[in-house]
């Protein structure tokens, strides 16, 4: 498990995460919080190569607005 980054925005039913590293996770990677609760999957990676963004599609029942400002992790 590695740090994915911080949720900076919720848009169009996805969470936009500013990646912590220049090496983003693969599309389809599972995303968890710091309690290892599975929240969804990475569905897109976009933006600058040096520090990209990842779009995370939530699992059923996961509410996105409370995740703003939190750090997520990729498996």
Average pLDDT by consecutive 10-residue portion of the chain (75 residues)? 95 94 91 96 94 96 95 95
CB-CB contact of 44 with 15 (8 Å): no
Domain locations along the chain: 2-74
pTM for the model stands at 0.92
Domain 2-74 grouped into CATH 2.60.40.60 = no
* pLDDT value, residue 63: 94
Is residue 25 within a helix (H) or strand (E), and if so which, with residue range? Answer: none
């Amino acid at each position: 498990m590695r740090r994915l980054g911080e949720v900076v925005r919720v848009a169009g039913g996805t969470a936009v995460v500013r990646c912590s590293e220049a090496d983003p996770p693969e599309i389809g990677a599972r995303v968890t919080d710091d309690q290892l609760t599975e929240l969804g999957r990475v569905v897109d990676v976009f933006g600058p190569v040096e520090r990209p963004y990842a779009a995370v599609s939530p699992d059923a029942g996961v509410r996105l607005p409370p995740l703003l400002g939190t750090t997520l992790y990729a498996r």
